[in-house]
Amino acid sequence: MTKVQPIIDQLAVERLDKLLFRGTPNQWPNQHVFGGHVIAQAMEAATLTVGEGYKLHSLHCYFLRPGIATQPILYDVDPIRDGRSFVTRRVVAIQNGEAIFTIAASFHVGEQGVEHQIDMPDVPQPEDLDDDEAYYARVLRAFGKQPKDKPFMPFEMRSIDRMDLENPQPKSPETGYWFRLKEKIDGDQALHARLMAYISDFAFLSANLRPHAMIPRDPRLKTVASLDHGMWFHRENFRVDDWIYYKTDGYWTGKGRGLARGALYDRTGRLLASTAQECLLRLKQEEKEALS
């Protein structure tokens, strides 16, 4: 058994009824459920109710409550529209009778049209960058902690201009990282799209903290969480077990929130997908008083 396949297997959902599905939560270090995991499962539940020929092109999510890692998640699909060119689905993820997450997903048959894109920025190639997992393991050891042997992310990542966790300094909100699945996999394009959506929620809101020399676990922060997440798929022929660059920009922070936007490119410079996310960045009370 590979290290990656069990994580991928956890993304599958079980059909209980025509429009009702059940998924297994993932084991995240904070005992909650990773947002990207719920997005990927809700995508599959929606896709299983859509006819052939329709491809997912956009999704809009709201994270309502923290997911509980020890309980299964129900996905209730609402088939709100079936058109000739577009199909729309709304999915509610439920635990303990309460909604923890909701997603609206739109599917399109695809048409011929004019084409252009914003080009990929000039960044170092993944071969020229250190592996993030190895870097964080070194930092943990420097703080006298032992890194976990069990991987919780199926991707290897290599960041551009990462924050120095031992000596954080203000940095530009424009950054990014390369990622690819740690092993080659079989699977259709829909699986690769779900895995791209899975990782699109990872290290996204960190871009909003960089100008403030902060990381999500900064002691000045009381609560850090994704509030909503949008994603638009521009291409269909891509693989997440090949290197993809995720450009992330922290566009704005204020009022206890932050807005980030992202773009995902393959190594040839094709724009594969775009993202946007608003997050909660709640300071501790003493930090709020210091700013007033």
Give pLDDT tens digits for 182-196: 999 988 999 999 999
Q: What is the pLDDT of residues 36-94, one digit of tens each?
A: 999 999 999 999 999 989 999 999 999 999 999 999 999 999 999 999 999 999 999 99
Active-site residue among 132, 201, 249, 266? 201
Give Cβ neighbours of residue 217 (< 8 Å, ≥ 6 apart).
224
Is position 201 annotated as part of the catalytic site? Answer: yes
Residue 29 has a pLDDT of: 66
CA-to-CA distance for 94 and 73, rounded, in angstroms? 6
Name which CATH class applies to 125-223+237-292: mainly beta
- Per the annotation, the verdict on 277 as an active-site residue is yes
Instruction: Using pLDDT thresholds of 50, 70 and 90, give the confidence band for residue 151.
Output: low
Catalytic residue among 41, 159, 274, 277: 277
Task: Give residue limits of the domains in the chain.
Answer: 1-110, 125-223+237-292
3-state secondary structure string across the chain = CCCCHHHHHCCCEEEEECCEEEECCCCCCCCECCHHHHHHHHHHHHHCCCCCCCEEEEEEEEECCCCECCCCEEEEEEEEEECCCEEEEEEEEEECCEEEEEEEEEEECCCCCCCCCCCCCCCCCHHHCCCHHHHHHHHHHHCCCCCCCCCCCCEEEEEECCCCCCCCCCCCCEEEEEEEECCCCCCCHHHHHHHHHHHHCCCCCHHHHHHHCCCCCCCCEEEEEEEEEEEEECCCCCCCCCCEEEEEEEEEEECCEEEEEEEEEECCCCEEEEEEEEEEEEECHHHHHHHC
Say whether pLDDT at 28 is over 80.
no
Distance CA 90, CA 173 (A): 33
pTM of the model: 0.93
Phi, psi of 157 (to 5 degrees): -135, 145
Of the residues 95, 200, 226, 274, only one is catalytic, namely: 226
Q: How many CA atoms lie within 13 A of 15 on its CB side?
A: 9
The CATH number assigned to the domain with range 1-110 reads 3.10.129.10
Q: How far is CA 252 from CA 29, 38, 160, 209, 281, in A?
A: 28, 26, 20, 10, 12
Average pLDDT, the chain: 92
Cβ contact 211:250 at 8 Å: yes
